[in-house]
Structure 1
Amino acid sequence: MLPARRLFVRKLRVCGIHTSWNTVGDGEFFCPDCGGDRNYRRRTGRRRFAVLGVPLLPRGLAGPVVECAACHSHFGMDVLDHPTTGRFSAMLRDAVHTVALAVLASGGTSSRTVRETAVQAVRAAGLDDCTEDQLTSLIEALAADTGRYVADAGPYGAALAIELHEALEPLAPHLAPAGRESILLQGARIALADGPYTPAEREVLTTVGAALQFCDDDTERLLETAAHTPF
């Protein structure tokens, strides 16, 4: 090691900035470094200039940071915006379930093929115990709850449009384009199970596309592709 570098390293050992951390909260998060769900500590700190390891002069505040309890890496608070694996799976299940309900409500539940296609989509998303009767009962309950519908909003109503946005918009930023396309295409398959899109079904699927952050042209392209693709 060069003499100048040895002197620099020696100075670093003699003096430097010492941070005292204080834990102010905890929870579970998805750790980017570990690549999975881990416990975390939310921490704030105070910086002090230290000589021989003894903190002396204050040098301001540090953090807040998120510290992984497993690898001890520090991250900005925005890392908590990423859902945990468990939460992401639940969001995805809810999204597909809501899309299936909206498409069924818009096109009706009289077709057995449509009901079976909807059940397959929901089960594939993780709701293994979903049945045709469950979906039909939910549609009937929505139809009976007249306060949830607007008279001129069509059979699927304003309430399901709101629910689509609430289920899909928080999920969309965490999905790759292929993942967002998959959700829209699952809705399209349900709608197409008994024939071409009805105007109401197309309206619902357009709402799904918008909630998934697709522009109108991309939504239309995907719907047309689905209409000409055998399933």
Structure 2
Amino acid sequence: MLPARGRNGRKSRILALPVSRGRAVCRRVIGMHTAWDTVGDGEFFCPACGGDRNYQRLTGRRRFVLLGLPVVPRGTAGPVIQCAACQDFFDPDVLDHPTTTRLSAMLRDAVHTVVLAVLSTGGTTSRTTLDTAVATLRGAGYDDCTEERLVALVDALATDAGRVTEPDCGPGLAIELHEALGPLAPHLAPAGREALLLQGARIALADGPYTPAERDVLTTAGCALTIDTDEVARLLVAARTPS
């Protein structure tokens, strides 16, 4: 408060609002308001909550506000994603990250594809290889997997894709590996991508050293997982060393 002289010569006081309070008053008098409309919803992985949550997709209309009344349109806002739990706002690209449920399903499919790819090189003729493959799939969540079902599936896929006479990882198999592993790779840590490749490597090694076809399949899988070629070669060597 600042002292001042009144007309009668006595001191009077002029009230000075604090800066923060003055700004708050100013915002109530003049400012910008956004009216949000819901244009979609769904489930996503919320970075703030750290888990799967429901969301709303919002678009907004901005208006210049005077004395609390919207008077002049100022364009659009958004779209944005709002978490139904924590109410935080995110850019739409947050939806590119799969939910934990979807990520688990993608990982299961990836393991299944790698196992079938390795077996398609001739692994179904070895009991040891089949035992390792069945154990790998059961560990990934395929509890009802059996050797008989696995052999039948590999035979059916080989017949449909014409892989019976392919000496290595043919174009059809390479495409399947990239389709199953490519979308998953960006969401896995390097250790996770390496572990997936090593699962295939251990199946290939169950009945002895890698065949050229097995090595070709595993190299293609490593490429689909965005693992450097030199690193793939190192991992294939490491898989031969007993832990």
TM over 0.5: yes
1:156 deviation in Å?
5.2
Following superposition, the deviation at residue 15 of structure 1 comes to 2.4
Match of residue 75 from structure 2: 60
- After TM superposition, the score normalised by the length of structure 2 is 0.88
- Does the Cα contact within 8 Å between 1:105 and 1:156 map onto a contact in 2? no
Distance 2:30 2:57 in 1: 27
Equivalent residue, structure 1, for 2:112: 97
Q: Distance in 2 between matches of 1:150 and 1:128?
A: 27
Question: Which of 20, 23, 27 is the aligned partner of 1:12?
Answer: 27
CA distance in 2, matches of 1:23, 1:202: 51
Query: In 2, Cα distance between the equivalents of 1:2 and 1:212?
Result: 62
Distance across 2 between alignment mates of 1:161 and 1:15: 61
Q: Deviations over 1:8-35 (max 9, x none)?
A: 1221233221111111111111111111
Percent of paired sites with the same residue? 66
For residue 25 of structure 1, what is the aligned residue in structure 2?
A: 40
Deviates more, 1:52-61 or 1:27-36: 52-61
Deviation at 1:144, TM superposition (A): 2.1
The reply to whether residue 205 of structure 1 matches residue 205 of structure 2 is no
TM-score w.r.t. structure 1 length?
0.93
Is 1:179 aligned to 2:192, yes or no? yes
Shift of 1:170: 0.1
Give CA deviations for 1:45-91 in whole Å, capped at 9, x if unaligned.
11111123321211211001111112111111111100011110000
User: Which deviations, in whole Å up to 9, do the C-alpha atoms of 1:117-150 show, x marking residues without a partner?
Assistant: 11111121222222212211111102222xx236
Structure-1 residue corresponding to 2:179: 166
Matching residue within 15, 23, 46 for 2:61: 46
- Correspondent of 2:229 among 213, 216, 230: 216
The reply to whether residue 144 of structure 1 matches residue 156 of structure 2 is: no
Aligned to 1:125: 140
Asked if the contact 1:14/1:51 (under 8 Å) is kept, the reply is yes
Give the AA of the match of 1:219: V
Contact 1:149 1:158 in 2 (8 A): no
Moved more, 78-87 or 149-158: 149-158
Tell me the alpha carbon deviations over residues 137-195 of structure 1, each in whole angstroms, 9 at most, x when there is no partner.
111102222xx236874265432221111000000000000000000000000001111
Which 5+ residue runs of structure 2 have no aligned equivalent?
A: 1-15
Q: Which has the higher helix share?
A: 1
* Candidates 35, 46, 51, aligned match of 1:36: 51
- CA distances 1:194-229 after superposition (whole Å, capped 9, x unpaired): 1110000000000000000012111111111112x2
SS in 2 for 1:83: coil
- C-alpha distance in 2, partners of 1:77/1:131? 43
Distance (Å, rounded) in 1 between the aligned partners of 2:67 and 2:149: 69
Which structure 1 segments of 5+ residues have no match? none
